[in-house]
Amino acid sequence: MARIAVDAMGGDFAPRAPIAGALHALGALPPHHEIELVGQTAVIESELDALLRGELAELAHVRDRITIVEAPDVIEMSDKPSAALRRKPNSSMVVGVKRVADGVAHGFVSAGSTGAQMAVSFMLLKLHPGLTRPAIGAIFPSMQQPLLVLDVGANVDCAPAELVQFARIGTVYAKALLGRENPAVGLLSVGEEAEKGNLAVKDAHQLLLNAGLNFIGNVEGRDLPRGVCDRGPIDVVVCDGFTGNVLLKFYESIGPMLIGMVSKVAQLDPRQVMGSLKQFDVDEYGGSPLLGVRGVSIISHGKSSPKAIKNAIAVAIRAWESGMTDEIGRRLAESVPDASDTGSAT
């Protein structure tokens, strides 16, 4: 049985979207899974009642698998992430992450402030030994199989050693959640040659050659949509958070653009086209795990719909059931001597 805590107050469409997403998730999940809605009890109860009496009345049977956890404060997007834990210790985000840290919940999902969730998860869940920073991993569609890109926003600047750490934790994720037997890791750069890229990328390339991973060398931006480079299929792409976040937001715009273009040329309803291009729908992937912390913390987009929250909950359950975080800790423990020799964070 998995028990997932959901931030009912986080996101642009809270509390309706997180609560509706939780109901949809429970409707699709086996009956032994449960959800905790964390936030202002009166607000949650009112929204639950409205949904179950109205548009989601068919899901009334899952109500007894929902527990409401009181958290009177809300972390706003304007709040400084580094001060979230100190100034709002009773916020839905802090209380939710603490449920995971205390072992009461098996995972936490939020569409609230990404910076605050990273800071709170870092402070309460802690990092695995051998890591200096966590990374956000996002699934990107491709013409082959979906691939994992990290970091996509947790760290604007990265030292070469941290890029190696991301490759290690990305390899574990690709095995545990994507089912890749021997994940191929590519380092995002401006050319496939080892001498291409900025100083951090060039140094990381050399370190990755001796990291004991299936490192296939540098990959370029054009390789990601294809899911393959000249050396074969790609499973994991490593980059700093600045580059990854730019890439992620560009990718998010591709789906609507393609749907609009195809609909216009083929004179079809966009909804018909969307079904064929659902791999470009960001809601299909739900949320991205904060990798490297000692617990399951899933970061969802601020504009997450109920569908996105539903899928983020599924990601949290798969992450917990697969033992992904424990495996990351084990793999890092094996490589700590190597990691200590690769430098420190900038």
pLDDT digits (tens, 9 = 90+) for 33-81: 999 999 999 999 999 999 999 999 999 999 999 999 999 999 998 888 8
By mean pLDDT, which of 263-277, 279-293, 316-330 is the weakest? 263-277
Give domain limits for the chain: 1-125, 130-285+323-346
DSSP labels, 22-51: HHHHHHHS-TT-EEEEEE-HHHHHHHHHHH
Report the C-alpha gap between 132 and 160 in whole angstroms. 12
| 89: pLDDT strictly greater than 70 | yes
Average pLDDT in the 292-309 region?
Answer: 94
DSSP single-letter state for residue 109: E
Task: Copy the structure tokens of residue 237.
Answer: 């792409």
| 222: pLDDT strictly greater than 60 | yes
Q: Which of 66, 49, 62 is nearest to 105 (CA)?
A: 66
Average pLDDT in the 219-229 region?
Answer: 94
The domain over range 130-285+323-346 is classified in CATH as 3.40.718.10: yes
Task: Copy the structure tokens of residue 24.
Answer: 């949809």
Task: Copy the structure tokens of residue 182.
Answer: 């021997």
pLDDT band for 143, please (50, 70, 90 cuts): confident
Average pLDDT in the 92-113 region?
Answer: 97
Q: Pick 1-125's CATH classification: 3.90.105.10, 3.30.930.10, 3.40.718.10, 3.30.420.10.
A: 3.40.718.10
| 281: pLDDT strictly greater than 70 | no
Per-residue pLDDT at 345: 37
CATH topology agreement for domains 1-125 and 130-285+323-346 = yes
| 9: pLDDT strictly greater than 80 | yes
Q: Where are the alpha helices (DSSP H) in 108-222?
A: 114-125, 160-176, 199-209
Average pLDDT in the 120-147 region?
Answer: 91
CB atoms within 10 A of CB 326: 14
How would you write 289-338 as a 3-class SS string?
Answer: EEECECCCEEEECCCCCHHHHHHHHHHHHHHHHCCHHHHHHHHHHHHHHH
Average pLDDT in the 219-234 region?
Answer: 94
| 267: pLDDT strictly greater than 80 | no
Per-residue pLDDT at 141: 86
Task: Copy the structure tokens of residue 149.
Answer: 């890109």
pTM (2 decimals)? 0.86
Q: Which residue has the higher pLDDT, 332 or 227?
A: 227
Per-residue pLDDT at 338: 47
